[in-house]
Structure 1
């Protein structure tokens, strides 16, 4: 390899941290044509992990390196959310957490790349396309596998848990997670609740926050939060909460005299 090519490959490796997927279309925009990428693969500098994606030959790349690439190289809002985000933030350490399940959220117009969907990341990937919250609202950055990744902040994450409940997320566990969120910013919570498009999620959130007797709940302006009309039967044969017009699991209401 010529000195010029060595300089170019060295520059390529400095563009992104180690452990990150390099998307072919993004590489083209950085000045690395598809032909040049093919030459790098033949020279064993890069190896393919699926159509449209490569990694450095000796890199061990987990799902984190793939999410980083999607966020940074594709400017997508796809991010770890719900239970996964709370675990990454250290907000779910007191509950058993299976690292075999990773929950991702994206807007309803975003899709996971084919190379991501076809690769075995050694974890079960659950991807939810929804715009019940604005794409970038309530996100924060964490270090995971030495990579800065955007994930849902605590308030957004619990809202995402409630969005998945009760079919894909247990409501009792949602409440246990809510109990641990005693230092949320009321301003951020207010902003998220006002922007939230799911009546079910907002009612459940407020019910659980009040039941947990969080101090920040007292600073919310409920008049600015649209809770819709009519009842929402969240579970069958549950306990009816007249204040929020929802039906929740009876075991959740057994000690709910404070509501």
Structure 2
């Protein structure tokens, strides 16, 4: 912003700025918010965006999570180390994920946009359709199936065009099968609006994942069954 290191040092000594960590400062009297901190990371070259349940909460899709109280889930494609000041202040999980075939740059990711589109200091957040698939990717190892159903149950306004594009670009057979299994069980309207013939659900065999005695069994919905 055109402020020299010497001047920044003077501002810190005079109490006008608080040093958070190398290259990051907080103005005296300002509140360090989670969204603002994420936006600051993004502006400094960290390719992270808010996704999963955190994005669903921010987008107002689920309401039983207390905003700012749940664990923050961030997605990235590079291995750039997160600043210690951020991880020390915010309870977060970082996902190194290639869930979709897409470009790395934040502005080019499929259905990821700023929370407030007109605000350049607003963080990048997954749209609800993408956030849902990101959450399902965590089932069952980090996210229980029952909790995932509770989150998905009220999602009657999912947009079929966005989901179609995301599902076609999705690299995880489990995520695609799980989405269709749960959407059919919950009778979400969007499941009837998708073109299943364009989606790759893998082989005709049943997908089975066992964790701590619980099994996740998913049929291939493209073979005449919704599981």
TM-score (norm 1): 0.72
More displaced 10-residue stretch of structure 1: 56-65 or 104-113: 104-113
**For 1:67, what is the secondary structure of its paired residue?**
helix
What is the CA distance between 1:239 and its match in structure 2?
6.8
8 Å contact kept, 2:209–2:217: no
Match of 1:79 among 40, 49, 54: 49
8 Å contact kept, 1:106–1:128: yes
Distance 1:110 1:138, change over 3 A: farther
- Distance in 2, matches of 1:186 and 1:100, equals 28
How many residues of Structure 1 are paired with residues of Structure 2 in the alignment?
A: 212
Matches within 5 A, 1:13-24: none
What is the CA distance between 1:214 and its match in structure 2?
1.9
- Distance in 2, matches of 1:126 and 1:233, equals 26
Gaps of 5+ in 1: 1-29, 246-257
Q: Write out per-residue CA displacement over residues 53-88 of structure 1, whole angstroms, 9 at most, x where no aligned residue.
A: 1111221102221101122x2354412211111111
Distance 1:50 1:241, change over 3 A: closer
Divergent runs of 4+, >3 A: 95-98, 108-111, 235-245
- Please report the RMSD computed on the Cα atoms of aligned residues, expressed in angstroms: 2.6
Larger radius of gyration: 1
What is the CA distance between 1:201 and its match in structure 2?
0.8
Distance 1:111 1:159, change over 3 A: farther
**For 1:148, what is the secondary structure of its paired residue?**
coil
8 Å contact kept, 2:207–2:219: no
8 Å contact kept, 2:207–2:218: no
8 Å contact kept, 1:81–1:152: yes
8 Å contact kept, 2:140–2:216: no
**For 2:158, what is the secondary structure of its paired residue?**
coil
Gaps of 5+ in 2: none
Q: Write out per-residue CA displacement over residues 75-109 of structure 1, whole angstroms, 9 at most, x where no aligned residue.
A: 5441221111111112111x355814222222244
